[in-house]
A and B are shown apart, each in its own frame.
Chain A
Amino acid sequence: MTTAISVSGLVKTFGPTRALDGLDLTVRSGEVHGFLGPNGSGKSTTIRVLLGLLRADAGEVRLLGGDPWTDATELHRRLAYVPGAVSLWPNLSGGEVIDLLGRLRGGLNPKRRTELLERFDLDPTKKGRAYSKGNRQKVALVAALASDVELLILDEPTSGLDPLMEAVFKDCVREEHERGRTVLLSSHILAEVESLCERVSIIRLGRTVETGTLTELRHLTRTSISAELAGVPDRLGEHPGVHDLHVEGHRVRFDVETAELDPVLRELTRVGVRGLVSQPPTLEELFLRHYEEASR
């Protein structure tokens, strides 16, 4: 399997601010890759380096086998991009923008254009200044999805879309995936990432903190356990994998790292288990943990 995007040790500074601080990212060809991180963690900066809009200060960046800075125009014919905040020309209609961007990229599939306009329920005759935020987003989505390209770079593409349109968007991404296209999806919506992405990378403060498949990442999360025991669980607190331990007599409540589940359960059975409720880990927790660390 080849790689569509490979970034290692990427550094980008703006004056005194270090926006990207040794970021790594690998997107394999044909996969839908989730790109996650709290606000201001460097997602859009990374994407703009990938598009050759910003020049990297240090690190290795390869995109579709080329250098995004020096080979920008050739590479751009093979990819489509949807920015997080779409700004349209006030006096051009949505249809004109879709056609223009498609043509500048080297062509647009007219059948797909018609089909997407219908699916996204978008009126192409409105002028740029008359569209709402969600509709501006749809213009950019139709322009990107209607072109026959290898790679889609989507920067929070569903911001402003209603739930119905979000579902249409998900279907479209799945279809693109089935056609063998690579998708880099930066997003904040966990349900979206969970249902679309095979692999995800989580960044914070300009560094990659987790990367892997969703199953792998689940291993990094914690399971919540509450149990009624036969005796006093005096040694539970010393265990390194146990967090937020609450003990009330024979009742315990705690979170345990999924990798440490086995030794902790042994400890519980040693004391004697009368009742046990465990809650499986959610991605949400994983994100919250990383996001909270970022805000600290």
Chain B
Amino acid sequence: MTTTTALPTPARVGSGGWRTGFTGTTALLRLALRRDRVLATCWILVFVAMAAGSAAASQGVYPTQQARVRAASAINDTPAMVALYGRVFDPTSLGAVSLIKLGAFGAALVALVAIFSVVRHTRGEEEAGRLELVGAAVVGRYSALTAALLLAIGTSIVLALLTALSLVGAGLPADGALAFGLSWAGAGVAFAAIGALAAQVTESARTANGIGAAVLAVAYLLRATGDVTGVDDSTWPSWLSPIGWAQQVRPFAGDRWWVLVNLLVFAALVAAAAYALVARRDHGAGLVAARPGRAAAQPRLRSPLALAARLHRGALVGWLVGMALGGLLFGSIASQVGALADTPEAREMIRRLGGERGLTDAFLATELGILGVVVAAYGISAALRMRGEETAGRLEPVLATGVGRLRWAASHVIVALGGAALLLVTVGLGAGFAHGAATENFGEIGRVLAAALVQLPAVWVLTGITVLLVGAAPRLAVLSWAALVLFLLLGQLGSLMRLPGWMIDLSPFGHTPKLPGAELELTPLVSLTLIAAILLTVGLSAFRRRDIG
């Protein structure tokens, strides 16, 4: 790969360039606010409602200090929970116990929204060519980036204040509520800066989002590693992660305000790097100069499936690497989780779960369940590519050749379903191999692989929902993400909020057998696969009958 870096001297930023570089920021910020007014309002309200709902529900579930301590130790003594959510830093605090599932996890979701928002208003606009239209007006070199960052910072602050207010409304102390809100906002601001930097590196908004999400995943895994490997406190890997910092603010458990400074300094440094790159690169270009392609297509590029495979290749490779790393990490810590629990209560729980092996299995089952949800996100994004191709006008010329609609759509569906399967195999092999290496028992690989693969039917249901929307209600296709978030929240918070059973049962992930450890039930797997097949069939037949464009 010839990676000639496109770093010419900042020719057009002459004397006074720094100040004029910001001209028009206000106008762009207003434009961004206008474009995002519905979207931003919606996601802020969802987060605020999540926090307030959890806090309000917990008062009923954990009315006494004793109940809270029991709930906290159930989390702190279960490594799978600690890896996923972090530690309850003060078992007696209602706020700390009730919001444990939303601390680091919520911060990561806020961070994801911040990344997407900044990339959408910078690289996304640039790639679509709209920024050029705007850039030709009186708009400075840094204006788009500044407007995007201000938008992200502004929404983060609004989110923090509204969340704090709603928590106070739910009966929690004000200082803890503010610390909690600001820990979310801090994560949002830090990853807005990451998004800004990622947007400078590549020419494609999709890749920039991918880089941002990958950094977030690494940050989350670092924090999980640090939290699991510590006995009473988190160890150093947590302190390498912005998500770890957000958690170390410890809302309702000491309110360590100074940790917020870490997040702000980090955000400032990363944003400064983004500004430095903006000043040096050409409009529309990334850091890596585009290489020329082939003058003629390879012989195998001759079918819709070959085209789909080519279009999905880059994203799938990125996902495979990420999932392999995630699998290896969880697999390697799985066998140690039993040794970490040395309180009598934890010993008791381990015994109930069937010894250390049972604890390890429970850990693997929880982590593989979460990775299953992540793989479902791949399935959705791959299936949504169909709608992307359609709206970009790239479907029309293909359908104007001898390719039928069904064949074209089936190609993308095959890549989405097959890619998800490949990802789960990778997760299973990675986790199984690492676990086998740690326990010096490679017979474990088969069990772990099977435990990863049982996630597949639920993942396929989400792909099916996406295909159904693309086929029958293309304008609403992005709602498939809402379905994923809904299922995730039903699983995470459904029982806490005491939702009716039928509602919690809506989530396909709830029906997946908790392997390894639990019994392998075939009925839910077969039913989920059938549901996915029905959704796909209905979606594809609707796609055959509707107008294109």
Q: Do the two chains bind?
A: yes
- Contacting chain B: which of A92-100, A228-236, A259-267? A92-100
Residues of the A chain whose Cβ atoms lie less than 8 Å from the Cβ of B304: 104
Is residue A58 within 8 Å, beta carbon to beta carbon, of the partner chain?
no
The verdict on B138 contacting chain A, using a C-beta distance below 8 Å, is no
B392 within 8 A of A: yes
- Of A53, A91, A104, most B-chain CB atoms within 10 Å: A104
B296 partner, pick from A72, A83, A96, A106, beta carbons under 8 A:
A96
Which chain B residues in 196-253 approach chain A with CB under 8 Å?
203-204
A73 and B403 in contact (CB under 8 A), knowing A93-B295, A95-B297?
yes
Query: Would you call B398 an interface residue if the criterion is a C-beta within 8 Å of the partner chain's C-beta atoms?
Result: yes
* Contact A87 to B394, CB < 8 A, known contacts A53-B547, A96-B301, A104-B403: yes
**Complex alpha-carbon distance, A103 and B296, angstroms:** 12
- Interface segment out of the listed B80-88, B306-314, B344-352, B453-461: B306-314
B549–A104 CB distance below 8 A: no
Q: Are A53 and B393 touching (Cβ within 8 A)?
A: no
Q: Is the CB of A99 within 8 A of B396?
A: no
* Pairwise interchain contact A81-B293, C-beta atoms closer than 8 A: no
User: Number of residues in A with C-beta < 8 Å to the partner?
Assistant: 45
Chain A residues positioned under 8 Å from B392 (CB to CB): 87
- Contacts A72-B404, A76-B402; is A81 near B397 (CB within 8 Å)? yes
Residue among A77, A93, A104, A153 making CB contact with B293, cutoff 8 Å: A93
- In the complex, the answer to whether A76 meets B295 with C-beta atoms within 8 Å is no
B398 and chain A: residue at smallest CB distance: A104
Contact between B301 and A95 (Cβ–Cβ < 8 Å)? no
Contacts of A100 in B (CB 8 A): 297, 301-302, 307
- What chain A residues lie within 8 Å of B545 (beta carbons)? 55
Residues of B within 8 A of A106 (CB): 401-402
* CB-based contact A124/B296 at 8 Å: yes
Instruction: Given the known inter-chain contacts A53-B549, A55-B547, please indicate yes or no for A127 contacting B400, CB distance below 8 A.
Output: no
In the assembly, what is the distance between CA of A136 and CA of B174, in Å?
59
**Residue A48 interfacial (CB < 8 Å):** yes
A78 CB, nearest partner CB in chain B, Å: 9
Q: In whole Å, how far is A160's beta carbon from the nearest beta carbon of chain B? A: 13
Choice from A81, A94, A129, A130 contacting B400 with Cβ under 8 Å: A81
Q: Does B548 contact A (CB under 8 A)?
A: yes
The secondary structure that dominates the B interface is: loop
Q: B294–A93 contact, CB under 8 A?
A: yes
Is the C-beta of B399 less than 8 angstroms from some C-beta in chain A?
A: yes
Does A104 lie within 8 Å of B402, measured CB to CB? yes
Chain B, interface residues (CB within 8 Å), range: 35 or more
Chain A 267-288 near chain B by CB (<8 Å), digits 1 or 0: 0000000000000000000000
CB distance from A93 to the nearest CB of B (A): 3
**Bound CA–CA A127/B284 (angstroms):** 14
B292 CB within 8 Å of chain A: yes
Residue A88, interface by CB 8 Å? yes
Contact between A96 and B396, CB atoms less than 8 A apart: no
Q: Is the CB of B290 within 8 A of A129?
A: yes
A85 and B404 contacting across the interface, CB-CB below 8 Å: no
Chain B residues with Cβ below 8 Å from A193 are: none
Given contacts A104-B304, A129-B203, contact A95 B296 (CB under 8 A): yes
Q: Specify which of A55, A77, A88, A97 is in contact with B402 (CB 8 Å cutoff).
A: A77
Q: Which of A48, A93, A140 contacts B292 (CB 8 A)?
A: A93
Complex Cα spacing A208 to B273, Å: 59
- By a CB distance below 8 angstroms, the chain A residues around B303 are 104
CB <8 Å contact, A73 and B310? no
Of A89, A90, A98, A100, most B-chain CB atoms within 10 Å: A100
Q: Bound complex: CA of A64 vs CA of B490, how far in Å?
A: 55
Interface string of B512-549 (1 = CB under 8 A from A): 00000000000000000000000000000000011111
Q: Bound state CA distance, A90 and B291, in angstroms?
A: 12
Q: Is the CB of A140 within 8 A of B397?
A: yes
Instruction: Report the minimal beta-carbon distance from B131 to chain A, rounded to whole angstroms.
Output: 14
Residues of A within 8 A of B297 (CB): 95-100, 103
Q: Chain A: interface secondary structure?
A: mixed
* Partner among B203, B314, B401, B546 whose Cβ is within 8 Å of the Cβ of A104: B401
Find chain A residues with CB under 8 A from B404 CB: 72-73
Please report the C-alpha to C-alpha distance between residue A124 and residue B296 in the assembled complex, in whole angstroms.
7
Shortest CB-to-CB span from A249 to chain B, Å, is 54
Please tell me if the beta carbons of A85 and B397 are within 8 angstroms of each other in the complex.
no
- B314:A91 contact, CB within 8 angstroms: yes
Q: Is the CB of B397 within 8 A of A103?
A: no
The digit string for A48-81, where 1 denotes a CB below 8 A from any CB of B, is 1001111100000000000000001110110111
B204 CB contacts on chain A under 8 angstroms: 90, 129
* B549-A89 in contact (CB<8A): no
Cα distance A55–B549 in the bound complex, in angstroms: 12
- Cβ–Cβ contact A92 & B310, under 8 A: yes
Find residues 281-331 in chain B having any chain A CB closer than 8 Å to their own CB.
Answer: 290-297, 301-304, 307, 310-311, 314
B547 touches A99 (CB 8 A): no
Is A2 at the interface (CB under 8 A from chain B)?
no
Check A89 against B402 for contact (C-beta < 8 Å): no
Expressed in whole angstroms, the Cα–Cα distance for A130 and B548 within the complex equals 27
The residues in B between 110 and 160 inclusive whose CB is less than 8 angstroms from any CB of A are 127
Given contacts A73-B402, A103-B302, contact A126 B396 (CB under 8 A): no
Query: Which residues of A are found within 8 Å of B397, using beta-carbon distances?
Result: 81, 83, 86, 101, 140, 143
Query: A110-153 vs B: 1/0 string, CB under 8 Å?
Result: 00000000000000111101100000000010010000000001
Which residues of chain B are near A89, meaning CB under 8 Å? Answer: 311, 394
Across the interface, which residues of B come within 8 angstroms of A181, CB to CB?
Answer: none
Of chain B, the residue at the smallest CB distance from A72 is B404
Q: How far is the CA of A83 from the CA of B303 in the complex (A)?
A: 21
Q: Is the CB of B295 within 8 A of A95?
A: yes
Contacts of A52 in B (CB 8 A): 399
* A85 x B393 contact (CB < 8 A): yes
For A92, the chain B residues whose CB sits under 8 A away are 293, 310
| A105 is an interface residue with CB less than 8 A from chain B | yes
The smallest C-beta distance from A63 to any residue of chain B, in angstroms, reads 12
Contact of A101 among B401, B547, B549 (CB under 8 A): B401
B296 touches A99 (CB 8 A): yes
Q: Name A99's closest neighbour in chain B (CB-CB).
A: B297
Given A76-B402, A104-B302, answer yes or no on A53-B290 (Cβ-Cβ < 8 Å).
no
Known: A74-B402, A99-B296, A124-B296. 6 other contacts (CB 8 A): A53-B400, A54-B547, A91-B314, A99-B301, A104-B402, A104-B403
Would you give 20 A-B contacts (Cβ < 8 Å), ordered by A? A48-B548, A48-B549, A53-B400, A53-B549, A54-B549, A73-B404, A76-B400, A79-B400, A87-B392, A92-B293, A93-B292, A96-B297, A96-B301, A99-B296, A99-B301, A101-B401, A103-B301, A126-B292, A129-B290, A143-B397
Binding site for B on A (CB under 8 A): 48, 51-55, 72-74, 76-77, 79-81, 83, 85-101, 103-106, 124-127, 129-130, 140, 143, 153
Closest 5 CB pairs of A and B: A93-B293, A99-B297, A81-B400, A104-B401, A87-B393
